[in-house]
Amino acid sequence: MKLYYFPGACSTASMISLIEAGQKFDLAEVDRNTKQASDGKDFNQVNPKGYVPALVLDSGEMLSENVAILAYIAGLDQSGKLGPAPGSEGCYHLLEWLAYINSEIHKNFSPLFRPTTDDATRAVFKENLAKRLSYIEQKLGNNPYLMGQNFTVADAYLYVTLSWRDHVGVDISAFPKLLAFYERVRARPSVAEAYRLQGM
Ligand SMILES: N[C@@H](CCC(=O)N[C@@H](CS)C(=O)NCC(=O)O)C(=O)O
């Protein structure tokens, strides 16, 4: 398998998950501006959508979209550690979390990175995030992770989106459980390893 990534981007969640799953994988860094990948390929040819993550499977097939890639990695982990077994009821709850993080968290962060987003528009996305994060704060309850006691690919994804907060001025100090969740995930060796692999 080969994962195409931008350092620190959402692709970090796939990297953390592959490490957690004990999978062997290669990496190719993509230049955001030129879309040239470090393996010499034009990334637009690898993933015509032009964005990361893209995971090239051992079959040669390319898989894109965080939700699909993270669900795939969870399914690779035979111990079921990174998510409930494919087809089980729990697996659909994992997809529920992945979809929520993708459309309600990640995609409310994305416009905050664009220098062209004006202050009034920024305020709207930050308000959306406050609502969506407050739901997670309640759902976490006394559980260490989103799905309960076990770390899953959804935790890796949520963690990566939260890691962007200081850069774009999103304050989560009103959410103590979320902050504790962030620190808990940050302490996992897979997270340090993923940043090391990205030269961060
Ligand atoms: N729908 C895609 C969106 C992925 C996405 O937003 N990727 C960002 C990085 S976090 C990206 O590559 N943006 C294009 C760019 O910055 O040029 C998914 O969920 O995988």
pLDDT tens, position by position, 142-190: 999 999 999 999 999 999 999 999 999 999 999 999 999 999 999 999 9
Q: How far is the CA of 11 from the centre of ligand 1 (A)?
A: 8
Q: How far is the CA of 36 from the centre of ligand 1 (A)?
A: 16
Q: What is the pLDDT of residue 80?
A: 82
| CATH classification code of 89-188 | 1.20.1050.10
Kindly state the percentage of the chain with pLDDT values over 90.
Answer: 98
Q: What is the pLDDT of residue 81?
A: 85
77 band by pLDDT with thresholds 50, 70 and 90 = confident
Q: How far is the CA of 142 from the centre of ligand 1 (A)?
A: 32
Q: Which atom of ligand 1 lies nearest, measured to the CA of 113? A: 16
Q: Which atom of ligand 1 lies nearest, measured to the CA of 51? A: 12
Q: What is the pLDDT of residue 139?
A: 98
- The mean pLDDT of 65-86, rounded to a whole number, is 93
* Assigned architecture for domain 2-80+190-197: 3-Layer(aba) Sandwich (3.40)
**What is the C-alpha to C-alpha distance for residues 58 and 80, in angstroms, rounded to an integer?**
21
Q: Which atom of ligand 1 lies nearest, measured to the CA of 68? A: 20
Q: What is the pLDDT of residue 70?
A: 98
Q: What is the pLDDT of residue 15?
A: 98
- The mean pLDDT of 83-94, rounded to a whole number, is 95
Q: For residue 88, what are its two tokens?
A: 């089980």
Q: What is the pLDDT of residue 79?
A: 79
Q: 146-174: buried (b, 16+ CB within 10 Å) or exposed (e) per residue?
A: bbeeebbbbbbbbbbbbbbbeebebebee
- The mean pLDDT of 58-81, rounded to a whole number, is 94
Give me the DSSP letters along 14-79.
HHHHHHHTT---EEEEB-TTT-BBTTS-BHHHH-TT--S-EEE-TTS-EEESHHHHHHHHHHH-TT
Q: With a cut of 80, say whether residue 78 has pLDDT above it.
A: no
Sequence ranges of the domains in the chain: 2-80+190-197, 89-188
Look at ligand 1, atom 11, and give the residue with the nearest C-alpha: 51
- The mean pLDDT of 91-105, rounded to a whole number, is 98
Sequence letter at residue 130: A
